[in-house]
Amino acid sequence: MIPVPSEKYRPAHPVVMPFDMANRQWPSRTITHAPIWCSVDLRDGNQALAVPMNVEQKLEMFEALVKIGFKEIEVGFPSASQTEFDFMRRLIEENRIPSDVAIQVLVQAREDLIERTVQSLKGAKKAIIHLYNSTSPAQRRIVFGLEKADIVAVAVRGTKWIQDRVNAGRLPGTEVMFQYSPESFSATEVDFSLEVCEAVVAQWGPTPQKKMILNLPDTVEVAMPNVYADQIEWFLTQIKDRNSIILSLHTHNDRGTGIAATELALLAGADRVEGTLFGNGERTGNLDIVTVALNLYTQGIHPRLDFSDLNGVREMYERVTRMQVPPRQPYGGDLVFTAFSGSHQDAINKGMHRRQEASAASGGAQPVWDVPYLTIDPRDIGREYGEIIRINSQSGKGGVAWVLETEYGLTLPKPMHKEFGPIANDHADKLSREISPQEIHDLFTETYLTQPRAKYRLIEFHSESDRLRPPSARGEALLTVDGTETTVKGIGNGPIAAFVAAVAPLVGEFDVAHYSEHALGSGARTEAIAYIQVKFPDGRTAFGAGRNTSIETASIGAVVSALNRAEAGKK
């Protein structure tokens, strides 16, 4: 990097948007409805692949796009190669295009390419012919060596070549819409873009009943997204025959703000959006339509695209494009609904419980979504709650408890979170990786239930009530202590108290500080699990857990488990 960037680079804003926009309106507007969507996966996304899709892969992608709900799909550049031409013919001849879907094709302003493109469309029900030519100062000067008037002439001439063929009946039975793009609009003086577009509009002659599309691409992001929004708003306030124009956007992501540029340009008055699934495209990619659509959804606006099975869409995309969706990609990435941070896990856990409580209180009605750190309900797009909280050494106690509850139905009492959470974190730290729900469950089982290195083991326990002095109970337990069997007896106001009194001579005096239990499932043979915390006179505490079809046996097992945990804590 050079020490004075201004010696090499200049800001684009004064060049592309030289007009005063003091009265801009877009910052105070709100998006209230979904735009018209056009997928360019099969053209713009495909040409950016190291290994382009074959015909079968393109067919699979096309069918997936139709299923999602796209009504306009740019399927290729049929004049560019025989493969592209053949794919177009196969779509048409095999009647694969639904009657309400328009296929879009791209073509440069060259007559031979336009002729080939028109040939490829014969028999299509609805088609958008997309003409483009470059307009920016750099393209005019460096690539083409043309003046502004020459650029206008190229655009108008290409428009007329298409118009002549349509008017001559070359596409009988096809509803044709015309689209023009001043390529590199974002780097073109906006007044010159207007000049080119108005010349094209004048040639084509759209009407409010039969509109044409003006597509203003942010071909290479050269300025902040607010500048693109200014360009769009200024253009729309100046263009003639606005009621005959569908204003379309096509943003790229060179500055990493393609999504922001699109959303701000929609505020500026655009009607239509072109993009790709997960932002696939040249350089840093196109607009990610999944993100913009689901951004609308989280604001209560249906995007008119269906991403209910986003995992399935992603699997198809990765298979046919050989691209990978990054783990932090909004909505679709592996980790976007995942919290490793303890405070985040705790907040999500509380939010989920509050939502369940609100739903139960309202008789099952779903309350407005309001869960900290989650902008969308993962279930709405086919994701699972199990993906939300994952455990590593940075995770919190609430996250560990959440995993055990949601995956295995173990509702640990809140004070127990503080004991088992650090145990799980330490385990992850030793492994230097994330630990799975199964590993967490196995760790819980080993720590509290099986306890392979336990000093005390319960063999059996019996109790009976003292009918003469209720509510006292007599208890007798057969234990092993370091492998040696011993029988103990005690009296208390219930079975647990009787057992505590019975083992006190072996372990010392202690109290039960916390007790809770719940069923694990339903039915006659359903097991119960009990959680008990013991407390010793010196302040030491330890939790234990016991599991059995008998709640009494489970409770006594939980006391033994807690005593083993306390014994281990002394070492």
Tokens standing for residue 59: 């067919």
Please, which pLDDT band fits residue 522 given cuts at 50, 70 and 90? confident
Please report, for the chain, the start and end positions of each structural domain, with discontinuous segments joined by +: 36-321, 342-450, 456-569
% of the chain beyond a pLDDT of 70: 96
Residue 65 CB partners (closer than 8 Å, separation 6+): 39, 41, 42, 73, 277
| pLDDT range class, residue 467, cuts 50, 70, 90 | low
Find the helix packing angle between 148-167 and 190-204, rounded to 10°. Answer: 30
C-alpha torsion sign, points 126, 319, 50, 181: positive
Report the pLDDT value the prediction gives residue 397, as an integer from 0 to 100: 67
pLDDT score of 261: 97
Query: At residue 338, does pLDDT exceed 80?
Result: no
Question: What per-residue confidence (pLDDT) applies to 384?
Answer: 76
Let me know: does 435 contact 423? Beta carbons within 8 Å.
no
Helix residue ranges, H only, 133-214: 137-138, 148-167, 190-204
Rounded mean pLDDT, 447-476: 86
The predicted pLDDT at position 386 comes to 58
Cα–Cα dist 274/40, whole Å: 6
For residues 196 and 456, give the distance between their C-alpha atoms in angstroms, rounded to a whole number. 88
61 membership: H or E segment, kind and range: helix 55-68
How far is it, in rounded angstroms, from Cα 193 to Cα 137? 11
| Helical pair 495-507 and 551-569, crossing angle rounded to 10 deg | 30
Confidence of residue 495 (pLDDT cuts 50, 70, 90): very high
Query: What integer pLDDT is reported at residue 389 of this predicted model?
Result: 63
- Give φ, ψ of 499 to 5 degrees: -70, -40
Instruction: Read off the pLDDT of residues 290-330 as tens digits, 9 standing for 90 and up.
Output: 999 999 999 999 999 999 999 999 999 999 999 999 999 99
pLDDT of residue 342: 66
- pLDDT value of position 391: 67
Give residue-wise pLDDT tens across range 263-292.
999 999 999 999 999 999 999 999 999 999
Q: Return all residues near 382 (Cβ < 8 A) that are at least 6 apart.
A: 307, 308, 309, 310, 311, 312
Q: Give exposure, 241-250, as e/b (b: 16+ Cβ within 10 Å).
A: eeebbbbbbb
Taking the C-alpha atoms of residue 148 and residue 478, their distance in angstroms, rounded to an integer, is 98
Residue 27 CB coordination number (10 Å):
11
Mean pLDDT of 496-513: 94
Superfamily of domain 36-321: Aldolase class I (3.20.20.70)
Q: Is the pLDDT of residue 465 over 70?
A: yes
The maximal CA–CA distance of the chain, rounded, in angstroms, is 112
Topology (CATH) of 342-450: Helix Hairpins (1.10.287)
Residue 569 pLDDT: 81
Q: How far, in Å, CA of 569 to CA of 378, rounded?
A: 40
Nearest Cα neighbor of 250 from 212, 200, 288 is 288
For 155-180, what is the mean pLDDT?
97
**Worst-scoring range by mean pLDDT, 122-131, 169-178, 435-444?**
435-444
Cβ neighbourhood burial of 170 (10 Å; 0-12, 13-18, 19+): middle
For residue 433, what pLDDT is reported? Answer: 85
Please give the average per-residue pLDDT across 180-187, as a whole number.
94
Average pLDDT (166-186) is 96
pLDDT tops 70 at residue 214: yes
pLDDT of residue 86: 92
Of 190, 214, 217, whose CA–CA distance to 202 is shortest? 214
**What is the Cα–Cα distance from 103 to 93, expressed in whole angstroms?**
14
CA atoms within 13 Å, Cβ hemisphere of 378:
21
Between the alpha carbon of residue 551 and those of residues 227, 461, 490, the distances in Å are 68, 12, 19
- Cα separations (Å) of 381 from 68, 228, 313, 406? 12, 31, 10, 19
CA-to-CA distance for 485 and 459, rounded, in angstroms?
9
pLDDT exceeds cutoff 60 at 393 = no
Q: Would you place residue 525 in the very low, low, confident or very high pLDDT band (cuts 50, 70, 90)?
A: confident
How confident is the model over 163-173, as pLDDT tens digits?
Answer: 999 999 999 99
* Model pLDDT, residue 468: 57
In this structure, the dihedral spanned by the alpha carbons of residues 210, 96, 105 and 282, taken in order and rounded to 10 degrees, is: 130
- For residue 35, what pLDDT band results from cuts at 50, 70 and 90? very high
Q: Quick check: 136 and 188 in contact, CB under 8 A?
A: yes
Written as six digits, the tokens of 263 are: 């959303």
Which residue(s) pair with 374 in the sheet?
371
Tokens 């328009």, located at residue: 102
Give the amino acid at 433.
Answer: R
Tokens coding 398: 């609430």
Q: What is the pLDDT of residue 394?
A: 63
Query: pLDDT tens digits, residue range 544-556?
Result: 999 999 999 999 9
Q: What is the CATH number of domain 456-569?
A: 3.30.160.270
- Residue 31: closest CA among 305, 407, 296: 296
How many Cα atoms occupy the beta-carbon half-sphere of 267 within 13 Å?
Answer: 19
DSSP letter at 43?
Answer: I
Average pLDDT, the chain: 92
Is 456-569 the same fold as 342-450? no
Residue 395 has pLDDT above 70, yes or no: no
Q: What is the pLDDT of residue 470?
A: 62
- H or E segment at 182? strand 175-183
Residue 486: predicted pLDDT: 94
Q: Tens of pLDDT along 356-377?
A: 888 888 888 889 999 998 999 9
